[in-house]
Structure 1
Amino acid sequence: MDNQYDAIIIGGGACGLMCAVQAGMRGRRTLTLERNDRPGAKILISGGGRCNYTNLYTSTANFVSADPTFANPAFERWGVSDTITFFEQHGIVGKEKTQGQLFPVSDNAKDIVRMFITLMRRYGQPLSLNSKVVSVAKSSDGVFDVTYEHEGVLTTARAGSVVMASGGLPVAKLGASDFALRIARQFGLDVVPTAPALVPLTITGKDADWFAALSGNSVFCRVSNARICFEEHILFTHWGLSGPAILQISSYWRPGETITIDLLPNQSIEQLIKAERDEGGKRLVGQLLADFFSRRLVDSLGKLLPVNVKIASLGKADAKRIAETIHRFKVKPAGDKGYNKAEVMRGGVATNGLDPKTLEASCVRGLYFGGECVDMTGWLGGYNFQWAWASGYLIAQAI
């Protein structure tokens, strides 16, 4: 009987840990299998090791999915206030930083992982590390057989339910894999095509050197495409663009598309030029730009704009070119930095094959999918963790 459980949870990340703890609170016996040598690998690196574990403004509008409203039942049953209360009850007090992001007051993601480990021990929920699942099969009696390798030995555990919480494709060194997607396909579920999300974008070709020369420069911008816009900082790098605004827009960007960057979103360069003219226009264009940008960025813009011309001498064509460049700077990325630099995966197990109230596969009784492997990709800033906690809780109430 040692290898029989109410549920086997595959993946010891945010969703899996929450599911195990919540199931334990209900008196259910689970086994969590984690392929790494420690649980919560992505928890530990998120937010620069501080873990922005939720966002006060979470709603389905903050998610990319074929059907973002699919998450409504999960957020109704386990909302941001539930996350805050749960963490506070177990010693993690949050503090708000940028745009609703909550971090532990300790600024230490390890405190969150320790909390879950403590709770799993309290509720008698075993966690098997260094355990790579080899196969998941459903026998004729309706019970799942999960075979996994631990220290070179193959073991098969049985359970009435299996929870796929093994994450997505980012980041390989953290044990990322497509295992949940393979299991979904094995049991006949659809998978929405996947791609890196919240990922830096690359610039190649004739413009590459211009961007590389600005490496390290950070500018508050408005970044947009035909679908959406974000106001946050961008970061120039030696291979292209990064920073919060770029990571956000990357989830909505598709290869071959152009993005537009407003380098001065809270000002009008036309109005600034007019004000300078009213004062005599004695300053150079570069001197005006230096009021808002670093010297290196002004020098780089000098390759595109007449920065050494007095404002009083600007013709209409040059003034228009300045406005177009500053407020409608067009960038056509060559690609992205891939799964190893992405924070999350876009796409995943299609929501049309899951019950939104339980996350159980409609065609396979007892098989559940939660967290990142589902086609529910949040914005930067704690949204993906809120989905992980909510989906873990929802599944725990059903297994």
Structure 2
Amino acid sequence: MSANLTKQTTFDAIIIGAGACGLMCAVQAGFLGKRTLILEKNNRAGAKILISGGGRCNYTNLHTSAQQFISANPHFCKSAFAQWTVDDTISFFEAYGIQGQEKTLGQLFPTTNKAKDIVEVFTQLCQDLDQPVWLNTNVNAVEQSDEGFTVSYERDGKLGRLTAPKVVITTGGLPVQKLGATDFGMRIARQFGMNVVKPMPALVPLTITGKDRPWYEQLSGNSIFCSVSNDKISFEENILFTHWGLSGPAILQLSSYWQAGEVFYIDLLPHRDVAELIQNERLINPKKTLGLLLAGLYTRKFADALSGQLPVQKNLASLSKEDLDAIKQQIHHFKVKPAGDKGYDKAEVMRGGIDTNELSSKTMEAKKVPGLFFGGECVDVTGWLGGYNFQWAWACGFVIAQNL
């Protein structure tokens, strides 16, 4: 392969990664009269944006605050969110024709329900602002040089080098490999002597193996509104039973706070007391069986699954205190010990990443390497399900652009 060396610095910064953070950074830099170049290994920009929210893209969340983010330093994200707010995100997209509609729990989607509309805002702006995006470009190395940084790349079968005074790494995390996800950002951080918090899958389904698996398999496809909790946090949303374990919004949320070997609990009837329901029904229909009562609370399939562990043939009047205790335990404190998770290819995001102690919270610049910036998912800041991670990406992109 031939080498095409570009020695003259023609860009204020080179941005590596055309995801949410990189695209926002390029556009905001363009607004400030700065010229950037985005290098993207995929054949299209915004690949992960396009699949988010089932292809509808929940592009922010109205309830965003530091409380919905996981990090070794829970305060780190506050500066970025103060500089670029949810209102800023809404106004930005509205200015380019994207109206938002609120769905569950503050999630904001485009009224068109098309993620491609979000990406098109950025691709059009990059074109209008002369912020080129090089697709199918694989970056091989980032090194400090007299001009600031030299970026070595391969594009269209040719090797090349570019120089710029500043480099922005917005290459995302390890999910999802089929979209080109790699550990590039973390490798570059380590290369420059920066610490990385151990990465792990987050917002990911959990697996059940062994003797408990058949019980979950029989419920595959059933979705139930529940409260799931461990000693760190609790979430109230639907859970989905699958042939390999548990998924659904509540499980994905809890997975970000779960470690291998830990148990968690499911309240299968949140905000209602099953013992009180039994007592009230006893007064009206004492001969009614527990099985019939459960059939009125759950799908038949789920009620049948519970019947293997509860005295469903007994009528309500004959239930003993021991029976009631067992029912309450099963309904309100259903114990789950997952075997593991489904890994990065099924995870929405990654937790862990570049240690926030290595970065300025005000600028996202590496403290040890002036001119080198990191933003988005490769940093140790991980949001809940529901648009929070996009808000983090937009905020990072804005903040970095102000400091290029």
How high is the TM-score relative to the length of structure 2?
0.97
Distance 2:179 2:299 in 1: 37
**Of 354, 376, 385, the match for 1:371:** 376
Alpha-carbon shift at residue 316 of structure 1 (Å): 1.1
Distance 2:316 2:137 in 1: 67
* Contact map agreement 2:8 2:163 (CA 8 A) in 1: no
Helix, strand or coil for the counterpart of 1:359?
coil
Aligned to 1:217: 222
Aligned to 1:106: 112
Distance 1:21 1:320 in 2: 60
Aligned to 1:138: 144
* Contact map agreement 1:3 1:156 (CA 8 A) in 2: no
Show structure 1 runs of 4+ deviating over 2 A. Answer: 1-4
Aligned to 1:200: 205
Q: Does 1:70 align with 2:76?
A: yes
Alpha-carbon shift at residue 282 of structure 1 (Å): 1.5
Q: Does 1:31 align with 2:37?
A: yes
- Matching of residues 52-201 of structure 1 within 5 Å: 52-139=58-145, 141-201=146-206
Shifted more, 376-385 versus 148-157: the winner is 148-157
**Of 221, 246, 250, the match for 1:241:** 246
* Contact map agreement 1:11 1:165 (CA 8 A) in 2: yes
* Contact map agreement 1:138 1:145 (CA 8 A) in 2: yes
* Contact map agreement 2:267 2:333 (CA 8 A) in 1: yes
Alpha-carbon shift at residue 75 of structure 1 (Å): 0.4
AA of the residue aligned to 1:125: Q
Give identity over the alignment, percent. Answer: 62
Aligned to 2:4: none
* Contact map agreement 2:238 2:250 (CA 8 A) in 1: yes
**Of 34, 40, 44, the match for 2:46:** 40
Distance 2:116 2:177 in 1: 21
Aligned to 1:397: 402
Q: Does 1:284 align with 2:298?
A: no
The runs of 5 or more residues in structure 1 that have no matched partner are: none
Deviations 1:142-166 (A, max 9, x none): 5100011111111111111110000
Helix, strand or coil for the counterpart of 1:176?
coil
Aligned to 1:341: 346
* Contact map agreement 1:167 1:372 (CA 8 A) in 2: yes
* Contact map agreement 2:216 2:243 (CA 8 A) in 1: yes
Helix, strand or coil for the counterpart of 1:276?
helix
Aligned positions, number:
398
Aligned to 1:327: 332
Alpha-carbon shift at residue 3 of structure 1 (Å): 5.7
* Contact map agreement 2:147 2:164 (CA 8 A) in 1: no
Alpha-carbon shift at residue 279 of structure 1 (Å): 1.7
Helix, strand or coil for the counterpart of 1:5?
coil
**Of 280, 305, 308, the match for 1:303:** 308
Alpha-carbon shift at residue 290 of structure 1 (Å): 1.2
* Contact map agreement 1:12 1:166 (CA 8 A) in 2: yes
Aligned to 1:357: 362
Deviations 1:203-239 (A, max 9, x none): 0000000001100000000000000000000000000
The runs of 5 or more residues in structure 2 that have no matched partner are: 1-6
Distance 1:282 1:142 in 2: 85
Distance 1:391 1:68 in 2: 16
Alpha-carbon shift at residue 278 of structure 1 (Å): 1.5
Deviations 1:186-216 (A, max 9, x none): 0011100010000000000000000011000
Helix, strand or coil for the counterpart of 2:154?
strand
**Of 315, 318, 339, the match for 1:313:** 318
Deviations 1:17-66 (A, max 9, x none): 00000001111111101100001011000000000000000000000100
Alpha-carbon shift at residue 371 of structure 1 (Å): 0.3
Distance 2:265 2:312 in 1: 22
Q: Does 1:384 align with 2:386?
A: no
Aligned to 1:9: 15
Distance 1:5 1:52 in 2: 32
